[in-house]
Structure 1
Amino acid sequence: MRWRRRRRPFAGKLEGLEGLVNFRDLGGLPAEGGTVRPGVLFRSDSLAYATPADAERLVHDLGLSTVIDLRGEYEVEQLGRGPLSGARVGYYSAPIADVSGADDLVGHYVAMLTEKGPVLAGTIRHLACAGTLPAVFHCEAGCDRTGVLAAVVLGLLGVPEDAIAADYAATAAAMPTIHERVAVVVDRLGLPPRPASLPVWEPEAALMTRTLDLVRERWGDMQGWAREYGLTPDELSALRANLVIAA
């Protein structure tokens, strides 16, 4: 399926999506020297849940150029890519899977930053390239892996930590539907059901705040993380040029 892409940058709020429940624009947040550019970088739950009408709106209204998929190979094979797989939109696979276990979510997020640092850095490098934007990145729920990548991007743009944490927590509104979907996916893939004794967690700002505290302890800041994983000053400058509107 092919749709005509909008030529002008999207400059509004995309409302009324049918299948996506955790889709939002990262634009408008305060950044170092300006504001994150609206209409060019979006985060989402899995685009496999998009309806054909959703896909048409993403291509036509947003002028989408790139889908960045953070799911692992098994997830993509079993759950698919949705209707955008037939669109003339670039597809970039950046699997954040098979990360070591941790005692809590904060430890899990730090493990992603450590063990999947090269994958995350490659994704940042891709976002810094000409022609990649507008882009959307997603995992399954659009919370954990997507939340970590959002924190990396926003941190490198100089977005204040409280704003990064608030963006992470904004997923809470979608969690009832996401939990229902998880149960369906677990059953579909024949995985063990989630033990009823485990508490149902919510993405709270404090979880991302603690994650960013550990980033500061280990790397100094997100710039230090970027240096460790090979991102150059020129690449980070290109990222900021793509994503920040100067004040």
Structure 2
Amino acid sequence: MTTSAPLRRLPVGSTYNLRDIGDYQVAGGARTGWGRLFRSDAARFTEGAEIAGLGLQTVIDLRDDAEIAVLPTGLDAFVPKVLHRPLDPRSLLSALPDGSPDPLGELYVALVRQRGAELAAIVADLARPGALPALVHCAAGKDRTGVVIALVLSAIGVSDDVVAADYALTADYLTADFFAAVPVESGAADPTDEVLRGARPESMTAMLRVLTAEYGGARAYLTGHGVPDEAIDQLRITLTR
């Protein structure tokens, strides 16, 4: 499902969780190409040389203004288009019932149910001509980024088990060192909360099941929120080789 190729996680800048989503099987026989779409935590970049090799044309920052103020990435100086598309999960997280066995799964389901317009707009940003190579990131590259990347992969035909496995790789990279290094105000999960800083595949699978059961799948979800079919087709073409 995933590959151990060294290109999966990229040791660029001070990131912990910068990953390439290349080489995933897509229905029909294609595979996602390397170097087209990246996912990451937030990091401060002070030199363009740190990211020049990625060839980024677009960055989508899913954090709100307060998070950006705490940890500005500096990418505006080095990437042609940096888009701020906040997906604030705090109100959704605080509304979850106490004692949930899978609060992250419930959070991702809530994002899908309540942030449809915002999520669709982000995918449309990635589908526009010339948008790729692109980087999608939030604070940790796990929750908000995880939902966006899952929607993209699922919409172009990557199977649910592969999507969930890609999400779960985050647990390998968001180590205790990561949580110790970032300020709580940055928007990363509370380092004292083992559940919220985890990345179990079951949490993403819960969201993917809701997409299928309630919306007919990721593609239907996106088109139902205004993303044209042809935009998703174009995204599939540009993401595959």
Please tell me the TM-score bracket, short chain as reference: 0.7 to 0.9
Q: Is the 8 A contact 1:157 1:244 kept in 2?
A: no
Q: Bigger CA drift: 141-150 or 208-217?
A: 208-217
Kindly state the Cα deviation for residue 173 of structure 1 after the two structures are TM-superposed.
Answer: 1.4
Give yes or no for the alignment of 1:73 onto 2:65. Answer: yes
> What's the counterpart of residue 14 of structure 2?
19
Kindly state the Cα deviation for residue 223 of structure 1 after the two structures are TM-superposed.
Answer: 1.8
> What's the counterpart of residue 62 of structure 1?
54
Q: Is the 8 A contact 1:65 1:135 kept in 2?
A: yes
Q: Is the 8 A contact 1:43 1:138 kept in 2?
A: yes
CA RMSD of aligned residues (A): 2.3
Q: Who wins on radius of gyration, i.e. which is larger?
A: 1
Kindly state the Cα deviation for residue 108 of structure 1 after the two structures are TM-superposed.
Answer: 0.8
Specify every segment of 5 or more residues in structure 2 that has no aligned partner in the other structure, as ranges: 1-5, 98-102
> What's the counterpart of residue 89 of structure 1?
80
Structure 2 CA distance, aligned partners of 1:181 and 1:220?
Answer: 41
Structure 2 CA distance, aligned partners of 1:74 and 1:32?
Answer: 40
Q: Does the residue aligned with 2:130 lie in a helix, a strand or coil?
A: coil
- CA distance 1:125–1:18, shift in 2 (3 Å): closer
The correspondence for 1:223, drawn from 207, 219, 222, is 219
- CA distance 1:23–1:62, shift in 2 (3 Å): same
> What's the counterpart of residue 110 of structure 1?
109
Amino acid at match of 1:107: E
Kindly state the Cα deviation for residue 113 of structure 1 after the two structures are TM-superposed.
Answer: 1.3
- CA distance 1:166–1:87, shift in 2 (3 Å): same
Kindly state the Cα deviation for residue 32 of structure 1 after the two structures are TM-superposed.
Answer: 2.1
Structure 2 CA distance, aligned partners of 1:96 and 1:106?
Answer: 16
Structure 1 CA distance, aligned partners of 2:133 and 2:83?
Answer: 13
Amino acid at match of 2:65: E
Amino acid at match of 2:181: R
> What's the counterpart of residue 41 of structure 1?
37
Q: Is the 8 A contact 2:62 2:136 kept in 1?
A: yes
Q: Does the residue aligned with 2:16 lie in a helix, a strand or coil?
A: coil
Kindly state the Cα deviation for residue 52 of structure 1 after the two structures are TM-superposed.
Answer: 3.2
Structure 1 CA distance, aligned partners of 2:128 and 2:191?
Answer: 44
Specify every segment of 5 or more residues in structure 1 that has no aligned partner in the other structure, as ranges: 1-11
Q: Is the 8 A contact 2:57 2:131 kept in 1?
A: yes
Q: Is the 8 A contact 1:106 1:211 kept in 2?
A: yes
Structure 1 CA distance, aligned partners of 2:191 and 2:26?
Answer: 41
Structure 2 CA distance, aligned partners of 1:69 and 1:110?
Answer: 21
The correspondence for 1:30, drawn from 6, 25, 33, is 25
- CA distance 1:212–1:18, shift in 2 (3 Å): same
- CA distance 1:231–1:50, shift in 2 (3 Å): same
Runs (4+) of structure 1 exceeding 3 A deviation are 50-53, 193-196, 198-201
- The alignment of Structure 1 onto Structure 2 pairs a total of residues equal to 223
TM-score (norm 2): 0.84
Q: Tell me the percent identity.
A: 32
Q: Is the 8 A contact 2:22 2:33 kept in 1?
A: yes
> What's the counterpart of residue 100 of structure 2?
none
TM-score (norm 1): 0.82
Amino acid at match of 1:71: R
> What's the counterpart of residue 178 of structure 1?
178
- CA distance 1:136–1:88, shift in 2 (3 Å): closer
